[in-house]
A and B are shown apart, each in its own frame.
Chain A
Amino acid sequence: MTGLVRGDAISEAIRIDDLHKSFGTNEVLSGINLAVDSHEVICLIGASGSGKSTLLRCINLLEPINSGRIALFGQDITGPLIDANLVRRQIGIVFQSFNLFPHMNVLRNVTLAPTKVLRTPAAQAEEEARALLDRFGLIDKADDYPDRLSGGQQQRVAIVRALAMRPQIMLLDEVTSALDPELVAEVLDVITELASGGMTMLIATHEMGFARDIAKRVCFLEEGKIIEDAPPAELFTNPKDDRTRRFLRRIVEAKRL
């Protein structure tokens, strides 16, 4: 271990200072500053291409950053000597496109990382996986392969798979965007349950109603910057910035709020 501080001793789960990230000449994140407290749920909203997904991928070290600093429970995780695998154990991420492993059944999808990374004995990992699957109403799917599951079920399995690593923080990257409308609710219910259990979450979403209900703070991103960061009641009803107002007007016109 590199001595990463675990647990709640430091209440600030994530702190991001002046984060810049470019793909070639295209700057996707241009100076992000954000602090997330433990047990806090923060929603990131903004148009496609505003940098929400890239921000989440940077926090999970799936994308190398160009400059800036990301700290996890007070410790810088952007230094060159950081073991990305150790960082990722503490941060679960769920993707828009589920990305379940198609050649493994649901149970194996969930137990793979605990057994290979945490070296949890197989029997114990399976027991814990079944308990999690049971909690999220998926226990009868344990032996099925992902292609037998609906999109909503697959996304719930993906959440369970991330939870099986006992992460301190969950990053959710537009987890309902690829779902048929009637399947969105079952996934949002799972996230709501996680929030009520005190999970620290950073959620990129297009579901404005959901963001308003679940988030303690909502951040509006445009062109790689956080334009506005406020409690949902304030941001949705009385936005300070013109750009936020314009974005929300478009959402209302599209009947998404």
Chain B
Amino acid sequence: MDPNSQMSPGQPAGMFTATGRGPRLLSGGGRRATVVSTISTIVVLAILVLIFLLAPGARSVEHFFFNPTDMWRSFIGNPGQGYYSVGAAIWLNIRMFLVAEVLILLLALLIALIRQSTGPALFPIRILATGYVDFFRGVPLILVLFALGLGVPALSLPFVSNQPDAVYGVAALVLSYSAYVSEVYRAGLNSVHQSQVSAARSLGLSQGTALRYVVLPQAVRNIIPPLLNDFISLQKDTALVGTLGVIEANKAAGIFSETVFNFSSFTVAAILFLILTIPLARFTDRLIERDRQRRLALGAQ
């Protein structure tokens, strides 16, 4: 198909999907569709901005939440005046997220494998793993944070009780999220057909080797979108670690607002979190779309 035919004006939208995009946020369909969607986006945004500007309290909200001067001051920070840089503090969120993500991927896989095991000897560990998942999915993350951040130091154990608060924060994130992510893994492991295991074992592969080379790669491929979804959520939840007194972006914004009596610092924190999460969200969309195309291509055979 001539790719230029896509661009001819008046082409009915969606008739040719040679771009391989299919129905998406902005469905492909030539220049006219692009113009229409651009205009409607501008109109919708304009209406939203207008409602905001016409609201009786618009001036004061603008001053307290969207004040460029205070946004800049909180972004840069000034320890001499008693507040920290939100821009620098987000770096701690990023580090906590990265460390937590790696640990969650490992711990959750371990839990999922234990729960999927069948051997009678493993029964007690299986019960433990099930209890773990039930417990940490049921208890709010913020309570886990308090329990670890306040409880573990109070135990006065050597080493374990002398860690920085961020460590307890990451531990709480790992404990809580691993319970969720292990269920995602389990769904992935179940999505690989038993005949794949038969095929691998019939070739003489041990259970471990079959898992490592045949089952896991397929399972992980199937669960990348939900995994990424959980990690988008994890990126934001690093902000909860601030409740332990750790100066991460949200906490730094809070200190600024208490010192200067202006909430623009929270807007800065929100923007920084968006900058972190949106690329991951778009990446997830792309993977889901690619997966959909792959399935379509297979179905067409």
Do A and B truly interact?
yes
Do the beta carbons of B217 and A103 come within 8 Å of each other?
Answer: yes
B170-210 interface code vs A (CB 8 A; 1 in, 0 out): 00000000000000000000000001101111111110010
Classify chain B's interface size.
10 to 19
A116 and B217: CB pair below 8 A? no
Q: At the interface, yes or no: A3 with Cβ under 8 Å from chain B?
A: no
Contact at B209–A147, with CB atoms within 8 Å?
Answer: no
Q: Judge if B152 is at the interface, Cβ distance under 8 Å.
A: no
What chain A residues lie within 8 Å of B1 (beta carbons)?
none
Minimal beta-carbon separation of A118 from chain B (angstroms): 8
* Residues A99 and B196 in contact, CB atoms below 8 Å apart: yes
Interface pair A116/B213, CB less than 8 Å apart: yes
Contact residues of B: prevailing secondary structure: helix
A85 near B204 with CB under 8 A, answer yes
> Which residues of A lie under 8 Å from residue B205 when comparing CB positions?
85, 112-113, 116-117
Which of B195, B201, B209 is A88 in contact with, Cβ under 8 Å?
B201
**CB of B24 within 8 Å of the partner chain:** no
The residues of B that contact A103 with a CB separation of less than 8 Å are 217-218, 221
B204 and A95 contact, CB distance less than 8 A: no
Chain B 112-130 near chain A by CB (<8 Å), digits 1 or 0: 0000000000000000000
| Interchain CA distance A97-B221 in the complex, whole Å | 22
B298 at interface, CB cutoff 8 A = yes
- A28 close to chain B: CB less than 8 A: no
Name the residue in A57, A84, A99 with the highest tally of chain B Cβ atoms < 10 Å from its Cβ: A99
Whether B203 lies near A95 (C-beta < 8 A) is no
A116 to B200, CA, bound (A): 11
In the complex, the answer to whether B198 meets A112 with C-beta atoms within 8 Å is no
Asked if residues B204 and A113 are in contact (CB atoms below 8 Å), the reply is yes
Per-residue A-contact encoding for B151-185, CB less than 8 Å = 1, 0 else: 00000000000000000000000000000000000
Q: Is B199 a contact of A101 with CB atoms below 8 Å? A: yes
With A103-B217, A147-B298 in contact, do A62 and B209 touch (Cβ < 8 Å)? no
The smallest C-beta distance from A82 to any residue of chain B, in angstroms, reads 13
Contact A165 B204 (CB under 8 A): yes
Please indicate the chain B residues that have their CB under 8 angstroms from the CB of A93 in the complex.
202
Is the CB of B19 closer than 8 A to any CB of chain A? no
Q: Which residues of B contact A245 (CB under 8 A)?
A: none
Does the CB pair B196–A62 fall under 8 Å? no
Contacts of A89 on B, CB cut-off 8 Å? 204
Q: B203-244 interface mask toward A, CB cutoff 8 Å, 1 = contact, 0 = none?
A: 111100100011001100100000000000000000000000
Question: In A69-126, which residues have CB < 8 Å from any B CB?
Answer: 84-86, 88-89, 91-93, 95, 97, 99-103, 112-113, 116-117
A56 to B201, CA, bound (A): 14
Q: What is the distance, in angstroms, from B80's C-beta to the closest C-beta of chain A?
A: 57
Q: Is B301 an interface residue (CB 8 A)?
A: yes
Q: List 20 A-B contacts (CB under 8 A).
A: A62-B201, A62-B202, A85-B204, A85-B205, A85-B206, A86-B204, A88-B201, A88-B202, A93-B202, A97-B195, A99-B199, A101-B200, A103-B217, A103-B218, A112-B214, A116-B205, A117-B209, A161-B203, A165-B203, A165-B204
B positions within 8 Å CB-CB of A: 195-196, 198-206, 209, 213-214, 217-218, 221, 298, 301
Given A88-B202, A92-B203, list of 10 further CB < 8 A pairs?
A57-B198, A62-B198, A92-B202, A95-B199, A97-B195, A99-B199, A100-B199, A101-B199, A116-B209, A165-B204
